[in-house]
């Protein structure tokens, strides 16, 4: 039972590290997945290494996927392999979590139209223009999609995501 957590340079430390340990506490393996299997640096200079490149990950082997925020989503959305991994998890209706600017990845993957979600207030227009209904609350749950606004939402966001992993 593995949960992939996307990583790219300029990730938000809280939004990556909190889910990384939270899914492990819930009994899942946390797998850091980047465009390449290499070391990435956060906004504050913390270094973490991706375990695998997105193109090497079998979405069928995942229990769910987490997309942290920061400025990493703007970089993640440039990689077709990352977007295909997100689309595959979404098509399989596996738990999919996104926080802060991670909505950009969902937009680029083409999975927000007709859905209700949240994200950092500065990407509200992007989400709405992509066909989503935006709510300024957290967590926002739409089927298997669990979204949140920023680090202050981490506890409720991860509780909802872990609930989805467990079938709640």
Q: In this structure, what CATH number is given to the domain that contains residue 155? A: 3.40.50.880
Number of domains observed in the structure of the chain: 1
* pLDDT given for residue 81 in this prediction: 98
* pLDDT given for residue 83 in this prediction: 98
Angular region, 110: left φ>0, alpha ψ -120 to 50, beta rest? left
88-146 pLDDT per residue, tens: 999 999 999 999 999 999 999 999 999 999 999 999 999 999 999 999 999 999 999 99
Cβ(134)–Cβ(149) under 8 Å? Answer: no
pLDDT surpassing 80 at residue 168: no
* pLDDT given for residue 89 in this prediction: 98
Provide the token pair at 101. Answer: 């600017």
12-62 pLDDT per residue, tens: 999 999 999 999 999 999 999 999 999 999 999 999 999 999 999 999 999
* pLDDT given for residue 115 in this prediction: 98
CA distance linking residue 164 with residue 94, whole number of Å: 8
Query: Position of tokens 């400025």?
Result: 71
* pLDDT given for residue 41 in this prediction: 98
Query: Which phi and psi (to 5°) does residue 119 adopt?
Result: 180, -175
* pLDDT given for residue 163 in this prediction: 98
Catalytic residue among 101, 115, 149, 164: 101
Cβ(17)–Cβ(70) under 8 Å? Answer: no
Query: Which residues on neighbouring strands pair with residue 42, listed in sequence order?
Result: 11
Q: Are strands 47-49 and 133-134 parallel, antiparallel or unpaired?
A: unpaired
Q: The domain containing residue 155 runs over which residues?
A: 2-165
Cβ(146)–Cβ(164) under 8 Å? Answer: yes
pLDDT band of 148, cuts 50, 70, 90: very high
Query: Which residues on neighbouring strands pair with residue 31, listed in sequence order?
Result: 4
Query: Position of tokens 């990493």?
Result: 72
58-79 pLDDT per residue, tens: 999 999 999 999 999 999 999 9
Q: Is residue 2 reached through a cis peptide bond, with omega within 30 degrees of 0 on the bond before it?
A: no
Q: What is the pTM of this model?
A: 0.98
Confirm whether 101 is a catalytic residue. Answer: yes
* pLDDT given for residue 50 in this prediction: 98
């Amino acid at each position: 039972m593995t949960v992939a957590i996307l990583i790219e340079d300029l990730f938000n430390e809280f939004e990556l590290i909190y889910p990384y340990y939270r899914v492990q506490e819930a009994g899942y393996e946390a797998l850091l997945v980047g465009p390449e299997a290499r070391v990435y640096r956060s906004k504050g200079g913390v270094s973490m290494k991706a375990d695998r490149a997105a193109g090497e990950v079998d979405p069928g082997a995942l229990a769910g996927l987490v997309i942290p925020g920061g400025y990493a989503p703007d970089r993640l959305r440039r990689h077709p392999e990352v977007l295909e991994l997100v689309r595959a998890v979404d098509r399989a209706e596996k738990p999919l979590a996104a926080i802060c600017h991670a909505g950009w990845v969902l937009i680029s993957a083409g999975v927000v139209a007709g859905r209700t979600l949240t994200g950092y207030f500065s990407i509200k227009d992007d989400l709405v223009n992509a066909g989503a209904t935006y709510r300024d609350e957290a967590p926002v749950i739409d089927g298997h999609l669990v979204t949140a606004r920023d680090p202050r939402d981490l506890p409720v966001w991860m509780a909802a995501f872990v609930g989805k992993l467990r079938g709640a």
